[in-house]
Amino acid sequence: MKSSPWGFRLALAAILIIGCLVRLTNIDSTPLGLNADEAYAGYEAWSMANAGTDSHGYVNPVYFVSWGSGMNVLYSYLSVPAVKLLGLNTFSLRITQAILGCFTLILIYLITRRFLNRRSCLIILGLFAIIPWHIMLVRWGLESNILPFCLTLGVFGFVYGLEQRPFLLLAALGFGLSLYSYAVAWMIVPFLIVGLVGYGIYTKRITLNRWSIISGALLILLGLPLLLFILVNIGLLPEIRTSFISMPKMPIFGSGGYSLNIIENLTNSINVLFNIRPDGYNVLSGYGLFFLFSSPLVAYGLWHIFRITRDNIKAKKWSLELISAIWIAACIPVFIFISDANATRLNALFIPVFFAMLLGLLHLTRTGFGRQILPLILATYGISFLGFWQAYPYNRAWNFPQTAEPIAYIQDLPGDVYFDGIHFPELLVSAHPTIPAQEAIYDNPHAFWHHGRIVVPRIDRYHTNVRHDAPIDLDGIYILRADNWAFINRLRDEGFTIVFENPDRKVLKIPHE
């Protein structure tokens, strides 16, 4: 019996609403605190919005200098409207990521609908809406977390461009922007484009026409500034600074994060994919990427899509299995050369792996006993999601330094303020959300460069990363990690008392009459 159009539309709307709610609700407080990289990305957005340059004075750089080792630019550029409108705060730093996460849901549905029936598309979208990995990915403002959206946009444009040529422009835009979202895309996008376009030529679905030429030109135009940036940083060109775009010479530019220890890298990557290796901020303990019990389905799904892809190639046929296989194959260089793999560094891989897992599940449950137990499997995912959603806000390992409340508490108290375990971008966002970069870094007598990295141990009266054995300022205020008992007890011995605390930080000060 066919489902009614209205029933399908209501189910689709319900899934999208739930998926958006779990990505948007309370993003300013879950996760708690700010990560140093998301704070710096937000500060770069604030600097671009208000000063017209990044924190190092470059006009529209293709890559931020930031810490010295660099930072991807796309997320900060996209965050400029939110930061300009809402100010520099946790919500404005995260809202763009969350909104793009919601758009990813729509793209997932549209891609699958090109190949599958409505029932299968609803199952895939319904499970994607509640998987822990993507929910956690888009609820904080790490700039590299935008890569899955960009790649999905590119794949969407390509899939629809096979029939409606103007969509190839969207494919070029998605793949071109991917290069500025996360540096690992530099290794992925060329292989992904070659795989998709090459198979398109093989099946005669991609031909030389007006739209393919314009799309190719757009992709080259988007990639050219990054190519010039790379040439600058390998010494073939001098630094490029103009009134409208910059290609900075980086203090540190190299192979950080990559190694040729292929066996170890491959082992680490497999451990991340199959939830064997703990992964801190990226994956909630006990739930994994797609829930822990999904690992066998992932293995079966990978085998299934590559088997179907082999048959598709012989028949010159397109399918979601083949698209997923090409996407996964394009990620292999990152999978084997990335060192110290985690769910952030492998984030380009997980959407096609999710497709593989669900395509394998749908294959297993299309007839007979499998079809009968499919509702039970889907219910298991639903119940697991409820458990995840209950545990997620209270997971201490996932939260970042929570300094906003302690800083607000001591704003009117005299004395220098000392922190342990906080970097200057977090301090800028929490304590000085409007201080110009020139004052925070360049005109700051305490800032200095060390081995190619900017170090800012003090801004105004605020001191960062103070060691527990440093001399004690008896007139100062100390904001310390709640578990730093060695430092806390040392201060107590000097007459300090705890005047404010939250689960992450304690504020200590000597009481004065």
- Per-residue pLDDT reduced to its tens digit, 277-293: 666 677 888 899 999 99
Rounded to whole angstroms, what are the CA distances from 4 to 7, 195, 257?
5, 38, 51
CB 192 within 8 A of CB 327: yes
CA-only gyration radius of the chain, Å: 25
Residue range 4-30: mean pLDDT, rounded? 94
Q: In this model, does residue 94 exceed pLDDT 50?
A: yes
- Per-residue pLDDT reduced to its tens digit, 43-86: 999 999 988 999 899 999 999 999 888 999 999 999 999 999 99
CB 72 within 8 A of CB 182: yes
Q: What is the residue-averaged pLDDT of the chain? A: 93
Residue range 251-255: mean pLDDT, rounded? 80
* DSSP result, 347-361: GGGHHHHHHHHHHHH
Q: What angle do CA 139, 110, 165 make, to 5 degrees?
A: 120
Q: In this model, does residue 354 exceed pLDDT 70?
A: yes
- Per-residue pLDDT reduced to its tens digit, 474-484: 999 999 999 99
Residue 439: the pLDDT is: 77
Distance from C-alpha of 324 to C-alpha of 302, rounded to nearest angstrom: 9
* DSSP result, 36-65: HHHHHHHHHHHHHHHHSS-TTS-SSBSSB-
Residue 400: the pLDDT is: 82
Residue 1: the pLDDT is: 45
Residue 319: the pLDDT is: 98
Residue 424: the pLDDT is: 87
Residue 279: the pLDDT is: 67
Partners of 455 in the β-ladder: 448
Higher pLDDT, 498 or 446: 498
Residue 421: the pLDDT is: 82
Q: What letter represents residue 209's amino acid?
A: N
- Per-residue pLDDT reduced to its tens digit, 162-196: 999 999 999 999 999 999 999 999 999 999 999 99
Can you read off the two tokens belonging to residue 448? 């200095």
Residue 398: the pLDDT is: 60
Q: What angle do CA 61, 187, 151 make, to 5 degrees?
A: 75
Residue 402: the pLDDT is: 83
Partners of 375 in the β-ladder: none
Q: What percent of the chain has pLDDT over 70?
A: 97
Distance from C-alpha of 168 to C-alpha of 216, rounded to nearest angstrom: 9
Location of structure tokens 């960009």? 150
- List the one residue out of 320, 326, 321, 319 whose CA is nearest residue 305: 321
Residue range 16-27: mean pLDDT, rounded? 97
Residue range 150-167: mean pLDDT, rounded? 97
Distance from C-alpha of 127 to C-alpha of 121, rounded to nearest angstrom: 10
Residue 260: the pLDDT is: 86
For residue 503, say if its preceding peptide bond is cis, omega within 30 degrees of 0. no
CB 67 within 8 A of CB 436: no
Q: In this model, does residue 323 exceed pLDDT 70?
A: yes
Residue range 210-218: mean pLDDT, rounded? 97
Kind and range of the H or E run holding 92: helix 90-113
Residue 414: the pLDDT is: 93
